Amino acid sequence: MLPDAPFHAELAEGPEGARGFWLTTDDSLRIRVAHYPGPETARGTVLFFPGRTEYVEKYGRVAADFADRGYHTFAVDWRGQGLADRMLGDRRAGHVNLFRDYQRDVRAMVEAAQALALPKPWFVAGHSMGGCIALRALTDGLEVSAAAFTGPMWGIRMPAPLRPAAWALGWSSARFGLGHVYAPSTGPNSYVASAAFLGNLLTRDEDGWNYMVRQVSDLPELQLGGPSLRWLHEALGECAALSRLRSPAIPAITFVGSNERIVDVPRIAARMAAWPGGQLETVAGGEHEVLMEDAVTRGRIISQIVQVFEKAGGGTGEVQHIA
């Protein structure tokens, strides 16, 4: 039996009966997962990999959309964010020692999904940093039938002249013990909690924006500020390493907003062009978080994802209830 963890259903607005659980990784960190139940006759389970700064409650509405279409959702708070153990004394700094360490969280999550007997087939969906973590997990052999990505961080958008400087800054920070320092132009403030809706980089839908603001305002411990220099260095290295690997031979669909301003869209396009049977969809007018757009847009995206999942083997089967 997995130990219960706090879960804030009123903020998530997900399917009834959702529960949070604590997990312990193989390097002894505590992370949090949440199970959003689907219908009694299920088509499978979506392993949902959130992005940097995110947490399990943020995808309650998405989980409700998946549940309406026959799927359970299993989401995670990565190390260093949400209610998982934070990595530094400054809890607002987004930090990781090694990007590969996120795979420890993936392994703990998969073991928990097995312990909960979540219905198969399994699928993976990853947003932003979660898309980067998911791609690495897939190349490491994560056993899922298909994958979906939104605004995947397969490259970080920055002006070309700044990229060598970012690499050099990350390298020097590690050498001189400054990896905990915030990356340039960032700080401890949560973007969602401090930015205005007008001109934000995440969504053009005010209701979706307010949904995110309400969550981090009502539960400030969910807030995360900018990334550390160490995180930036590790993220750039992981993106570069993944760019040299072939795409896994499973069906995949990726969505990117036409006004994406955070991740590297050319790298996304190149990856999906080379993905066997891969599908890339542009969300007209969309920003970085296309799943935080209006309900119609979100529903259309979820329906397209489900079509890919169904073709990959998302048939109907009996739910195995949680012990």
Residue 72 pLDDT > 60, yes or no?
yes
Burial bucket for residue 101 (CB in 10 Å: 0-12, 13-18, 19+): middle
As a whole number of angstroms, the longest Cα–Cα distance in the chain is 56
Strand 252-257 to 279-283 pairing: parallel
Q: What angle do CA 143, 154, 91 make, to 5 degrees?
A: 90
Mind listing the pLDDT tens digit for each residue in 284-296? 999 999 999 999 9
Which candidate, 64, 78, 52, 96, places its Cα nearest to that of 192?
Answer: 52
The single-letter code of the amino acid at 217 is S
CB atoms within 10 A of CB 188: 14
Any idea which residue has 């703990």 for tokens? 108
* CA distances to 108, 118, 122, 130, 194 from 115, in Å: 10, 8, 14, 22, 39
Residue 150 pLDDT > 90, yes or no?
yes
Give the per-residue pLDDT at 175. Answer: 62
Three-state DSSP state, 92 = coil
Kindly list the domain boundaries of the chain, sorted by start residue.
Answer: 4-318
Q: Which CATH number fits domain 4-318: 3.40.50.1820, 3.40.50.620, 3.40.50.170, 3.30.930.10?
A: 3.40.50.1820
- Positive or negative: CA dihedral 32, 196, 62, 313: negative
Q: How confident is the model at residue 170 (pLDDT cuts 50, 70, 90)?
A: low
Residue by residue, DSSP assigns 6-65 as ---HHHH---TT-EEEEEE-TTS-EEEEEEE---SEESEEEEEE--TT--GGGGHHHHHH
Mind listing the pLDDT tens digit for each residue in 10-64? 999 999 999 999 999 999 999 999 999 999 899 999 999 999 999 999 999 999 9
How far apart (Å, rounded) are the C-alpha atoms in residues 9 and 29? 24
Mind listing the pLDDT tens digit for each residue in 84-105? 999 999 999 999 999 999 999 9
